[in-house]
A and B are shown apart, each in its own frame.
Chain A
Amino acid sequence: MTEELHEVRLSVNGAVHVVRVPARRLLSDALRHDLGLTGTHVGCEHGVCGACTVLIDGRPVRSCLVFTVSAVDTEITTVEGLTEPDGSLGPVQQAFKECHGLQCGFCTPGFLTTITAGLRDNPTPTRDEAREMVAGNLCRCTGYQNIVKSVERAAALVEEGRQGPSRNPAREAGSR
Chain B
Amino acid sequence: MTTKLFGTGVQRVEDERLLRGHGRYVDDVLAGAGTLHAAVLRSPHAHARITDIDVSDVLDVDGVHLVWTHDDLTGAMAEPLPLLIPHPALTHGRTQHALARDEVNHVGEAIAFVVADDRYIAEDAVGRIRVAYEFLEPVVGIDAARAADHLVHDDVPGNVGARLEQENGDARAAIESAPHTLSLDLTIERSACTPLEGRGTVARWDPDVGRMTVWTSTQTSTGVRAAVAAKLGLDLAQVDVITPDVGGGFGVKINHPWPEELLVPMAARSLGRPVKFTEDRREHFISSAHERGQVHHVEVGFDDDGRVLGLDVTFWHDHGAWTPYGLIVPIITSTQLLGPYKPGSYRVVFESLYTNTVMVTPYRGAGRPQGCYVMERTLDAIAASLGKDRTEVRAANFIQPDEFPYDQGLIFQDGRELEYDSGDYPASLAKLKELVGWDEFPAFRAEMAAEGRRVGIGLACYVEGTGVGPYEGAHVHIETSGKVKVATGLTTQGQGHATSFAQIAADELGVALEDVEVVTGDTRRMPYAVGTFASRAAVMSGSAIHLAAKAAREKALRIAAEALEASVDDLEIADGVVSVRGTDSSIDLGTVAVLSNPLRYAFDEASKAATQFSVGDPGKPPVAEDDEPGLEGRDFYSPERSTFASGMHAVVVETDPDTAEVRILKYAVVHDCGNLINPMIVEGQIHGGVAQGVAGALYERMAYDESGQLLNASFMDFLMPYVTEVPASIEIDHIETPSPLNPLGIKGAGEAGVIPSAAVFASAIEDAERLDHPGLGITSMPISPSDLFDLRRRHSQETP
Contacts and interface: CB of A to CB of B under 8 A. Distances in A.
Interface of A: 1-3, 22, 24-25, 29, 32-33, 37-46, 48-49, 51, 78-80, 82-83, 89, 93, 96-98, 100, 102-109, 112, 127, 131, 134-148
B19 A108 contact: yes
A96 B723 contact: no
A108 B688 contact: no
Across the A-B interface, give the 9 residue pairs with the lowest CB-CB distance, nearest first: A39-B21, A106-B247, A104-B494, A143-B691, A105-B18, A143-B687, A103-B494, A48-B715, A79-B21
Given A48-B715, A79-B20, 10 more contacts: A29-B119, A45-B280, A48-B716, A104-B195, A104-B494, A106-B245, A138-B196, A140-B692, A144-B722, A145-B729
Max count, chain A CB within 10 A of own CB: residue among B18, B119, B729:
B18
A30 B238 CA distance: 34
Nearest to B729: A145
Given A140-B195, A145-B687, A145-B730, A104 B722 contact: no
B91 interface: no
Contacts of A136: 722
18 contacts: A25-B120, A32-B27, A38-B21, A43-B281, A44-B281, A78-B21, A79-B19, A102-B15, A106-B248, A108-B19, A131-B724, A141-B688, A142-B684, A142-B691, A143-B730, A143-B753, A145-B726, A148-B723
A102 B19 CA distance: 9
B20 A144 contact: no
B241 to A, nearest CB: 19
Contact of B196 (A25, A32, A106, A135): A106
Interface in B67-109: none
Interface string B22-54: 111101100000000000000000000000000
Given A1-B61, A45-B281, A100-B684, A141 B494 contact: yes
A82 B20 CA distance: 8
B680 A100 contact: yes
A46 B281 contact: yes
Contacts of B496: 103
Given A1-B60, A41-B247, A140-B692, A105 B715 contact: no
Nearest to B717: A48
Contact of B23 (A39, A48, A127, A138): A39
Say whether chain B's binding surface is mostly helix, strand, loop, or mixed: loop
Contacts of B298: none
A105 B281 contact: no
Nearest to B493: A104
Given A1-B62, A79-B20, A93-B20, A140 B724 contact: no
Given A46-B281, A104-B196, A138-B720, A93 B247 contact: no
Interface of B: 11-12, 14-16, 18-25, 27-28, 60-62, 118-120, 194-197, 245-248, 250, 280-281, 493-496, 680-681, 683-684, 687-692, 714-716, 720, 722-724, 726, 728-730, 753
B20 A137 contact: no
Max count, chain B CB within 10 A of own CB: residue among A109, A134, A141:
A141
A97 B19 contact: yes
B491 to A, nearest CB: 12
A89 B688 contact: no
A33 B117 CA distance: 12
Contacts of A24: 120
Nearest to B248: A104
A33 B604 CA distance: 39
Contacts of A25: 120
A100 to B, nearest CB: 5
Max count, chain A CB within 10 A of own CB: residue among B689, B690, B722, B724:
B722
Contact of B18 (A98, A108, A127): A108
A40 B715 CA distance: 19
Max count, chain B CB within 10 A of own CB: residue among A24, A32, A46:
A46
A135 B194 contact: no
Contacts of A45: 280-281
Contacts of B720: 138, 140
B688 A143 contact: yes
Contacts of A79: 19-21
A104 B21 CA distance: 12
B724 A89 contact: no
Contact of A83 (B20, B24, B494, B724): B20
Nearest to B722: A135
Contacts of B14: 105
Contacts of A112: 19
A143 B62 CA distance: 45
A51 B196 contact: yes
A100 B12 contact: yes
B714 A102 contact: no
A2 B24 CA distance: 32
A49 B195 contact: no
Max count, chain A CB within 10 A of own CB: residue among B19, B60, B195:
B19
A98 B61 CA distance: 51
B320 to A, nearest CB: 21
A104 B197 contact: yes
B11 A98 contact: yes
Contacts of B724: 131, 135
